[in-house]
Amino acid sequence: MATNRARCLESIEETGLAAPLVPTTLTLTETKPASLPMSGVAPRDLSVDLIKGFACALMLLAHIHFPDAIWVSRATLATVLFFASTGMNFFTITERHPGDDLRLAGNGLFLIFGGFADNYVQGTMGMADVFQSAGMAMLAMLLLRRLLPHYWTWLFPVPFLLHLLNQHAYWKIHDGGLGSFFLAPGLFPLLPWLSFYLLGAHLKRYPSQRMRLLLAGGAALLLTAHATLWPFAFHKFWMNPEYFLIGVIGLVLVSTGLRQWVAARWVQHRRWATLPQVRRWGANSLVFYVLHTFVLHALSPWIQRPLVLFVAGLSSTAALLYPALALQKLVERCGSPRMPLAFAALLSSAVVFAEFNLLHGYMARSWTSYGLTLSFVIAYPAWRQWTRQWPKLASPAPLPEAQPEAA
């Protein structure tokens, strides 16, 4: 069983578990950096979808107020898992589809500007929320990959270190403004959160157990040394060293554990046991994100117990995901993206006009604003369909061949 599991772990990295396993053709080696097959449609990595799926559930939990446990919103590490799994997917896409930089850059720009629809609903206009964070991180990783194709994932500590320097140099001390998209204080500015996007890409690029032990062990040693010199603190949005190091350790442990767990069930031919519902959340995390905001807004006035609200919110969001994905499939079947994009633009314009000219009560404006997130759900698949037609660029220099490493 151990041998089969080792073989399956390699198959996860090589094929994303999209093809049936043939144990006699697999070897007990891992190649660094990981090589990925080139194909028209990239198979999904189940373990990455599970990481992001659990991150979606933890995100919903973090957005529920626990009067007797206010630490819950920070301790879930949902943001770390969400951003890191995005970095993992980014690495897979760029390796399997070289030259798609323009397409990815276009999608990143859409997330930055189209994401303001959700910002308006959340009351976070003028700040880098989840959509702006993901879009800016995509653009930054594309640039780093172009400049340093062999080493860009190794830069994952740098954004946090620059953020830490800001805590002592005080380049920026006030919230708000354009600077909040790049430096704290802010919601999810590029620095320091880019570190976790890059770390996710790094773990995907170098999947060996040795690398994972090195990262987790190194972070644990630094955390221990820091705790002996300074009192322990745990700050998320003004990220301190404890949060960053615990985030690194937690990410490595969760990603490694889920990778092993998926491999064990896949090799036992229990593919149904890989939590397809949670994987669906992870594979459609942006839609899940916009839906959970609507669900919590609808349920929180009626459900006062936090744990009951969590169960009801998670179940309702998961149920609403089906019609939302059906709507997106309908958009994709339109053939041309022009009509869905035009409809989304008209819907957004109508909502904004109503918000500022017709509606004056809080409840009416609050519920109407969700028309903007509906327009995002419609527009994003149409936009991606359009960017697939954009020209390709010459890919960066290929990675050097590495010697196999014994597992």
Instruction: For the chain, 407 residues long, give each residue's pLDDT as a single digit of tens.
Output: 444 444 444 444 443 433 332 332 322 233 343 333 333 344 677 888 889 999 999 999 989 988 777 777 777 889 999 999 999 999 999 988 888 889 999 999 999 988 888 778 777 777 888 899 999 999 999 999 999 999 999 999 999 999 988 877 766 666 667 778 888 777 889 989 999 999 999 999 998 889 999 999 999 999 999 999 989 888 888 888 999 999 999 999 999 988 888 877 766 666 656 688 898 999 999 999 999 999 999 999 999 899 999 999 999 999 999 999 999 999 988 888 889 999 999 999 998 898 888 877 778 888 888 888 889 999 999 999 899 888 877 766 655 544 433 33
The percent of the chain in helix, strand and coil, each rounded to the nearest 5, is 70, 0, 30
Model's pTM, two decimal places? 0.84
Q: For residue 103, give the nearest of 84, 119, 118, 90 by alpha carbon.
A: 90
Cis peptide bond prior to 192, omega within 30° of 0: yes
Can you tell me the distance from the alpha carbon of 94 to that of 143, in angstroms, rounded to the nearest whole number? 12
User: Can the peptide bond before residue 185 be classed as cis, meaning omega within 30 degrees of 0?
Assistant: yes
CB 162 within 8 A of CB 179: no
Length of the chain: 407
Residues 6+ apart with CB under 8 A from 26: 7, 10, 11
State residue 176 phi and psi, 5-degree precision: 90, 165
The conformation of residue 382, written as its DSSP 8-state character, comes to H
Task: Say which DSSP state 113 is in.
Answer: H
Q: How far is CA 152 from CA 82, 275, 303, in A?
A: 20, 33, 46
Q: What is the largest CA-CA distance in the chain?
A: 69
C-alpha torsion sign, points 309, 315, 317, 323: negative
